[in-house]
Amino acid sequence: MHQTNNFLFNSLNNQQLQAVKHVYGPLLVVAGAGSGKTKALTHRIANLIEGNSIDPYNILAVTFTNKAAKEMKGRLEVLLAQELAFNQFGQPWTTLKEIDQNQLRTNVHQERLQNLWIGTFHSLFSRLLRYDIEKYTDPEGLKWTRQFSIYDETDSQTLVKEIISQDMSLDPKRYDPKKIKRLISNAKNQCLTSNDLLEKAENNFDKTVAEAYKRYRISLSKNNSLDFDDLLLLPVFLLRQNDIVRDYWHKRFKHILVDEYQDTNRTQYELIKLITAGNTEPKKFFNWEDRSIFVVGDADQSIYSFRAADFRILIGFQEDFKTSINDDTNSSLIKLEENYRSSSNILDAANSLIENNSERIDKVLKATKEKGELLTLLSCDDEISEAEAITNKIKSLNNYNQNPIWKNFAILYRTRAQSRVLEESLVRWRIPYTIFGGLRFYDRREIKDAIAYLKVLVNSSDNVSLLRIINVPRRGIGKTTIQKLNELSNRLNIPLWEVLNDKQSLEETIGRSSKGINKFTEVMNDLLCYLENSGPAQLLQLILEKSGYLSDLLSSGTEESEDRRNNLQELINAATQYEEETESGDVEGFLSTAALTTDNDTKKNNPNSVTLMTLHNSKGLEFQNVFITGLEQGLFPSHRSIDTPSLLEEERRLCYVGITRAKERVFLSHARERRLWGGMREATIPSIFLSEIPEDLIDGELPQTGGASIRRDLHLDRLTRVDRNNPNEFVNKPINAVRKLYSGPSKGKSWIVGDKLIHSKFGKGEIIHIFGSGEKISLAVKFGDKGSKILDPRLAPIRYV
Ligand code: ATP
Ligand code: MG
């Protein structure tokens, strides 16, 4: 092992050290939030490279987002540059001038990290496909070339819709393309083919989905395109079928590292296994002599089951990657038990909350920080006052600051729809903010247009992109013309692009309308001349000029068109940056990056701004102050989850993720009335999660039973209820009317926390919290493995034990 001067080790505890120094064989690190899993993973990569002379070319590191990959690369640069400074110049890092530090980082980047593959599963495996997709043999004879386009959700849905309504002549109202696309996607995430679906089909609808799946693949192949799911599924099939390809990647990626392993799905898991195993038989016992697999995760933070993530994969790690039959499996497990992120009050709150889940592996997570402040509850009248309360808090915490620090604040919400009101309030107070994962930069119209040009240049079979730009900017090509040409292309079974270039058949089919088409093909053919010798940035510039797109925007001269031009400039900047950062700087690679960028990475956000994002997007991040908003039954936990214990547990994990993002302060807010989805403002019930955090950790205002605390008016009498057995009778009747019919055995009983009861459906339970009082009371009841529910004691079929 090389001498390292401790930059890699001196900020780590013993367990982290053990993980970082682990070189060969499998290792699982399981630990709660903020315990330094990601840090250990990053330092381990640096130690493989610096301390063990492992070529970065042999390392594959998987992160959950592009942003996380970027940050990890940045940290690696600094860690390795620190070592370099010391080893080569004998100078400690801190004594170097900033300009020299930057120079060293650049050296490290160019000389040592170019060949390190680090990114999300999607970006890594789309890269693999750019090398090897032409070696894939499809059972149905479908083919793709390495210039394939990547279709986003909208493009894919366009194809599915076409298949349903045109190919299969079905009614899209009965066979909703969105739903069918989702079912196909689910199948792909579980590594199932259309034949698998057909075999499993229980009814006609299932059979139709299987058929649509089959045709959808054919159509994708015709367009030389892949959807997001294919980027993982195709590599699985390719690696399974082709020994040479599998062996190549197996020999290359000797060290695999995966962050957030709890959110891995079956397809991703299969990929990891195929590369680790290579051509070894039997597959179960790998040869670990010169390789390793290192995964870190926390089952309590598994929040993507709706995307087929399965945390049993984390639990099964030791069994899956044994070193031998007699493996002492404990040797491949390290637990980190200290939290370095949050104050201990915050951590206690998060730990108490998550203890309400029954499906979990017990673990220890101790605070290393002081108690800190209590969590603050903001009980608000409605969503507008909630937003105001939050902005007020942010302002007042910055009050004594000449230069306000906005970047220390994050506002988290369950659904994107909640952001609008929050934004309005921030705008009113002139507080800069950034929506993380809002409208994707690459979803903007002008960006999609420019990218579509680029896609067609690289991949002339991509009809979805071709049809998008054929008349943009306007060239007088009408819908009927396009339809005729499409029909011709189908009838002759030649790609649309070739039809467009066949002047004679054009004249015959569409006569004078061919003028516009000729204009289009001229531009494209001119641009094609530059394809070979230009990078993506120059090509984009040429596209915008030669197509007339830019002059079109210039001539309209509106504020909106100015905005669009700025965005296009930003796109060119992104392409330039891509060329600088990658070795090949090729157009295909840039197109993959563009398709897979899921946040506003490309836009230069104000670095000092409040962050707004969904709870899902907050995973892995940390902030000084965190607001968790909309803590109401039906919103958070979501409506769908309330009656399904496993879903409710996932919502609780999401809340655990949210709380554990905070270093210093947590604010929990709920509104007593809320207007969502543009409907009527309705009364709400506070979230059950509020009742699961010990009261002594929360500052004031918790909705409580009568007495001294401020009574929370739940407006229960204004709620309306629906009887599931007899929906029409009770719809929209005030709750009092319903109440009379239901006045059950619990009438008149005054409940207290700790009371045991029996529910006709959920069985035995215990009251863990009481909301409101008198006529307006609700009970939070914990029912063993059925999870917790909020009940109205006058309506629920419960009796006292
Ligand atoms: P999450 O589960 O939320 O992804 P994590 O386990 O990956 O969290 P990290 O993000 O790696 O945790 O670390 C959390 C914070 O604790 C970071 O600010 C990190 O720098 C700090 N940290 C980690 N380990 C140590 C340590 N040994 N000493 C001091 N600080 C540490
Ligand atoms: Mg992490």
CA distance 548 to 542: 10
Render pLDDT for 174-193 as a digit per residue (tens, 0 to 9).
899 999 999 999 888 888 88
327 found inside a domain: yes
- Is pLDDT above 60 for 396? yes
Residue located nearest, by CA, to atom 8 of ligand 1: 34
Does the annotation mark 792 as catalytic? no
- Predicted confidence at residue 503, as pLDDT, reads 86
Mean pLDDT of 605-628: 92
Tell me if residue 661 is catalytic: yes
Q: Among 587-601, 664-678, 691-705, 725-739, which is the least confidently predicted range?
A: 725-739
For residue 793, tell me if it sits in a domain: no
> What is the per-residue DSSP string for 679-721?
S-EEE--B-HHHHTS-GGGEES---BSSSSSPBP---GGG-B-
Pocket flag, ligand 1, residue 658 (CB < 6 Å): no
More confident residue, 329 or 493: 493
Whether 322 and 398 map to the same domain: the answer is: no
Rounded Cα gap, residues 172 and 155, in angstroms:
17
> 662: which strand partners?
623
Q: Could you please report the per-residue DSSP string of 574-641?
A: HHHHHHHHSSS--HHHHHHHHHH--SSTTS---SSSEEEEETGGGTT--EEEEEE---BTBTTTBGGG
246 lines ligand 1 (CB under 6 A): no
If we measure between CA atoms, which residue out of 673, 667, 700 comes closest to residue 686? 673
Residues 229 and 317 occupy one common structural domain = no
Instruction: Say whether both 415 and 390 belong to one domain.
Output: yes
Closest listed residue to residue 794, CA positions, set 751, 763, 733: 751
Which range of 94-103, 465-474, 490-499, 694-703 scores highest in mean pLDDT? It is 465-474
pLDDT at 772: 66
The beta strand positions in 337-476, using DSSP E, are 338-339, 366-367, 375-380, 409-413, 433-435
Residue 703's pLDDT is 55
Q: Residues 574, 620: one domain?
A: no
Q: Which residues pair with 638 in a beta bridge?
A: 634
Q: Would the pLDDT of 281 be above 70? A: no
**Is the preceding omega at residue 473 within 30 degrees of 0, hence cis?**
yes
To the question of whether residue 417 is assigned a binding role by annotation, the answer is no
Look at residues 575, 596, 617 and tell me which one is the last residue of a structural domain.
596
CA distance 203 to 538: 53
Instruction: Place 724 in a pLDDT band, splitting at 50, 70 and 90.
Output: very low
- 576: Cβ–Cβ under 8 A, 6 or more apart, which residues? 537
pLDDT at 605: 66
On the question of pLDDT at 97 being above 70, the answer is: yes
CATH of the domain at 151: 1.10.10.160
Ligand 1 mutation pick, 10, 64, 261, 341, max ligand atoms within 8 A of CB: 341
Q: Does residue 464 sit within a domain?
A: yes
Indicate if ligand 1 lies below 6 Å from the C-beta of 11: yes
Amino acid letter, 249: W
Query: What pLDDT does 107 receive?
Result: 86
The total number of structural domains in the chain stands at: 4
Interval between CA 17 and ligand 1 midpoint (Å): 13
In a domain? residue 750: no
Please name every residue paired with 30 in a beta bridge, in sequence order, or none if there are none: 297, 335
Which segment, 43-52, 65-74, 329-338, 718-727, is predicted with the most confidence on average? 43-52
Q: Pick the closest to residue 594 from 545, 544, 537, 534 (CA basis).
A: 537
Q: What's the whole-number mean pLDDT along residues 447-464?
A: 95
38 is in an annotated binding site: yes
Same structural domain for residues 106 and 207? no
What pLDDT shows up at residue 602?
44
Write the CATH number for 370: 3.40.50.300
Residues 114 and 161 in one domain: no
Instruction: Give the mean pLDDT of 713-737.
Output: 31
Nearest atom of ligand 1 to the alpha carbon of 620: 4
Decide if pLDDT at 604 tops 70.
Answer: no
Is any ligand 1 atom within 6 A of the Cβ of residue 358?
Answer: no
**342 sits in which H/E element:** none
Residues 388 and 254 in one domain: no
Residue 740 belongs to some domain of the structure = no
Is residue 621 within 8 Å of 147, Cβ to Cβ? no
Average predicted confidence (pLDDT) for the chain = 85
pLDDT tens digit string along 736-754? 322 232 233 344 567 788 8
Domain presence at residue 542:
yes
To the question of whether residue 36 is assigned a binding role by annotation, the answer is yes
Q: Is 33 annotated to bind ligand? A: yes
Q: Is 478 annotated as a binding residue?
A: no
Task: Indicate the residue type of 123.
Answer: S
Catalytic option among 301, 391, 481, 629? 301
Answer for the pair 342, 369: CB distance below 8 angstroms, yes or no: yes
Q: Tens digit of pLDDT for each residue in 27-86? A: 999 999 999 999 999 999 999 999 999 999 999 999 998 889 999 999 999 999 988 888
Same domain for 244 and 102? yes
Atom of ligand 1 nearest to the CA of 40: 11
Residue finishing a domain among 596, 623, 653: 596
* Residue 7: inside a domain: no
Alpha-carbon gap, residue 582 to 114, rounded angstroms: 7
The answer on pLDDT for 6 being more than 80 is no
Q: Please say if 37 is a catalytic residue.
A: yes
**Do the domain assignments include residue 662?**
yes
**Distance (Å) from CA 35 to ligand 2 centroid:** 8
Domain that includes residue 256, residue range: 14-122+239-336
Q: How many angstroms is it from 339 CA to the middle of ligand 2? A: 12
Going from the Cα of 259 to the center of ligand 2, the distance in angstroms, rounded, reads: 7
Same-domain status, 74 and 161? no
At residue 717, the pLDDT reads: 28
% of residues, the chain, pLDDT over 70: 88
Ligand 1 centroid from CA 615, angstroms: 19
The answer on 243 and 233 residing in a single domain is no
Cα 91 to Cα 53, 83, 105, 240, 332: the distances in Å are 22, 10, 15, 50, 37
Residues 225 and 142 in one domain: yes
DSSP state of 324: S
Q: Determine the residue of 10, 12, 13, 35 to mutate for testing ligand 1's pocket, defined as the one with the most ligand atoms within 8 A of the Cβ atom.
A: 35
Q: Is-catalytic flag, 541?
A: no
The total number of residues shown for the chain amounts to 801
The model carries a pTM of 0.82
At residue 603 the predicted structure's pLDDT band, cuts being 50, 70 and 90, is: very low
Question: Residue 735: is its pLDDT beyond 80?
Answer: no
- The CA distance from 28 to 17, in Å, is 14
* Ligand-binding site membership of 32 (annotated): yes
141-174 pLDDT, tens digit each: 999 999 999 998 889 999 999 999 988 999 988 8
Residue 472 has pLDDT above 80, yes or no: yes
Looking at per-residue pLDDT, the higher value among 442 and 321 belongs to 321
Whether the per-residue pLDDT at 22 is higher than 80: the answer is yes
pLDDT in tens, 512-545: 778 899 999 999 999 999 999 999 999 999 999 9
Which two three-digit tokens encode residue 115?
């060949």
CB atoms within 10 A of CB 476: 11
Q: State residue 87's pLDDT score.
A: 77
pLDDT, greater one: 687 or 683: 687
CATH label of the domain that carries residue 569: 1.10.486.10
Q: Which of 596, 629, 651 is the last residue of a domain?
A: 596
pLDDT tens readout for residues 106-141: 888 888 888 999 999 999 999 999 999 999 999 889
* 621 CA distance to ligand 1 middle (Å): 10
481 with 587, same domain? yes
Dihedral angle computed from the Cα positions of residues 648, 265, 438 and 118, in that order, rounded to the nearest 10 degrees:
140
